Amino acid sequence: MRRDIFQAIADPTRRAIIALIALQAMTPNALAAHFSMTRQAVSKHLQILVECEVVEQTQKGREIYYQLEIKKMKEIDKWLEQFRKLWEDRYNQLDEVLSTLKHKKK
């Protein structure tokens, strides 16, 4: 089964992993140190992130490092853009209503 980017970010632990590896590439052991779960549990989350193509693996010697795949994260931003415009329009409308109400009270 092919996973998509939204399955990757649906879980709070995976979002936390994404935030950590956005700063620097990390090994599963280094990531596991940030969570109260086993390294195997972190590895399962990493596997999903790899399947969703959100992170990529790089082998350096005996260690595997995981790093964020920025291009894939842009898919989320592109999808959210449609809602961002809608939210901004609604906030602008709310500002206008509040401004009108404020002027009516004076």
Q: Long-range contacts: 27-35, Cβ < 8 Å, 24+?
A: 27/63, 27/64, 27/65, 27/66, 28/64, 28/66, 31/66
Residue 42: predicted pLDDT = 96
Would you say the C-alpha torsion 44, 46, 50, 56 has a positive or negative sign?
negative
What pLDDT band is residue 2 in, cutting at 50, 70 and 90? low
pLDDT digits (tens, 9 = 90+) for 13-72: 999 999 999 999 999 999 999 999 999 999 999 999 999 999 999 999 999 999 999 888
Domains annotated for the chain, with CATH where assigned, are 5-105 (1.10.10.10)
DSSP single-letter state for residue 69 = -
Residue 100: predicted pLDDT = 87
